[in-house]
């Protein structure tokens, strides 16, 4: 898209409008840099007649994990030069469906109806993952990362502003 060799001073925020003609479907944006970067993608879209926006940030590498997805039926998107992984979907009935996802650049997998959990394993190095969940009120994005670690504090630190939220 003509951005090769572009130098951006550190600490600078820039907007790079990309106007490719893309059919209404899934897409991925791969950014490669010899220096650390922070980037995001803003996409206006229409879901079930409602206009919505989707702001997607950079992702960490995909690692094996299990996700609880009951009631969501998300679509999972995987990006990378060589995508290879296995997915085990556990349905509400207890049935387990096994899938292999492979490809290059982008691969898509849709959770089956009545899916309770998804286990991702055998992830090839260099693969990233994210999910989209749609509803009548819009669309949501979440990165495929393991659950956060529970943090503990010996003495809670809060003040009256907590009540005012």
| Residue-wise pLDDT tens digits, 96-145 | 999 999 998 889 999 998 999 999 999 999 999 988 887 766 777 788 88
Give 2-53 pLDDT, tens digit per residue. 566 677 787 777 777 766 666 656 666 667 677 777 766 666 666 666 666 6
Residue 149: what pLDDT? Answer: 43
Q: Is 79 exposed, middle or buried (0-12, 13-18, 19+ CB in 10 A)?
A: buried
Q: Is 123 exposed, middle or buried (0-12, 13-18, 19+ CB in 10 A)?
A: buried
What value does the mean pLDDT take over residues 45-71?
A: 77
End-to-end CA distance of the chain: 44
Residue pair 141/132 in contact by the 8 Å Cβ criterion: yes
- Phi (first) and psi of residue 164, to 5 degrees: -80, 0
> What does R_g of the chain's alpha carbons equal in angstroms?
19
- Predicted structure pTM score: 0.71
Q: Which two tokens stand for residue 156?
A: 């809670």
Residue pair 101/78 in contact by the 8 Å Cβ criterion: yes
**Comparing 84-88, 112-116, 154-158, which segment has the lowest mean pLDDT?**
154-158
Q: Which two tokens stand for residue 35?
A: 């220096």
């Amino acid at each position: 898209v003509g951005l090769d060799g572009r130098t951006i001073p550190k600490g600078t925020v820039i907007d790079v409008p990309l106007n490719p003609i893309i059919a209404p479907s899934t897409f991925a944006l791969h950014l490669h840099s010899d220096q650390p970067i922070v980037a995001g993608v803003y996409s206006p879209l229409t879901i079930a007649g409602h206009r919505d926006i989707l702001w997607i940030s950079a992702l960490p590498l995909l690692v094996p994990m299990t996700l609880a997805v009951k009631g969501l039926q998300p679509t999972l998107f995987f990006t990378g030069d060589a995508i290879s992984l296995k997915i085990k979907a556990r349905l509400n009935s207890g049935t387990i469906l096994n899938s292999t996802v492979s490809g290059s650049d982008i691969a898509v997998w849709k959770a089956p109806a009545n899916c309770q959990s998804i286990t991702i394993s055998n992830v090839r190095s260099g693969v990233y993952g994210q999910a989209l969940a749609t509803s009548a009120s819009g669309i949501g994005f979440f990165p495929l990362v393991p659950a956060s670690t529970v943090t503990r504090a010996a003495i809670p630190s809060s003040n009256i502003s907590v009540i005012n939220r």
